[in-house]
Amino acid sequence: MKKITLILSLLISAYGFAQNVSTGVVTLTTGFTVQFDVNGTTNKVTMTMVGPDDVWLAVALNANTGNSMGAGGEDVILYDSTGLKDRNLTGAQNAPNVDASQDWTSLSNTVTSGVRTIVATRALNTGDSNDYVFTTTTNTALPLLWAKGSGLTLAYHGARGGAASTLGTETIAALPEFNVYPNPTFRELNVEFPVSVQKASVSVYSVLGTLVFQSEMDQLNSKINTSEWNSGVYIMNISTPNFSQTKRIIKQ
């Protein structure tokens, strides 16, 4: 019994108390900003890039701001007429190399009154040597290089510079709440979505860490058959690209 209690505590700790940090909005130059939000629960980082809709935009991570071309190898996120690409600096006056592994997933790309807003996400550590490894440690310096073009086709930059940023703000936001019922459950669980959330990834683990259920769910597909589960305690993790919640489920 002590072993099960300990494992349950570890699971709840792993899912419920991971730290989230953010750079906040970093102004690179007039009309061009970027923000990185690191979620320690989902091990995902979300980037929000805002800039003019008629030029290409690029940000290099953890780059020496005193060296406008970088030393070579720095991770670059670049948007141009071909879309959002994962690249790396060459250390010379050449276009950044395109990574063999494209790890950023674009969540949205909207234009309003000439301003483009791009939201994209990836793992904190992609395993690609060209990619910067994000951390949930507060007060971590993240120097940035930036550039933007004179048009959407990638060519010599129209402007460039450096900016200091810090992953130093722990973010504790009021999150939409999922309702899971009945709990305790016998045959079926209902996952009630908050109005602001359309879909989520739902995983359920036994107290021994065994995955018993995993699925992408939405407002219309929100029931889980629990009739074949063994009686006991389970941990449910509900995650979206922006946040994660943990529920303790009892199966009778």
What are the pLDDT digits (tens) for 81-120?
999 999 998 877 788 999 999 999 998 898 888 999 999 9
The answer, as to whether pTM is greater than 0.85, is: no
**Domains of the chain listed by start with CATH number:** 20-170 (2.60.40.1210), 176-251 (2.60.40.3080)
pLDDT confidence band for 175 (50 / 70 / 90) = low
Residue 20 has which token pair? 């989230």
Under DSSP, is residue 98 helix (H, G, I), strand (E, B) or coil? strand
Average pLDDT score, the chain: 85
Under DSSP, is residue 12 helix (H, G, I), strand (E, B) or coil? helix
pLDDT confidence band for 65 (50 / 70 / 90) = low
Q: Where are the beta strands (DSSP E) in 99-164?
A: 105-112, 115-123, 140-141, 144-148, 159-163
What are the pLDDT digits (tens) for 18-35?
578 999 889 999 999 999
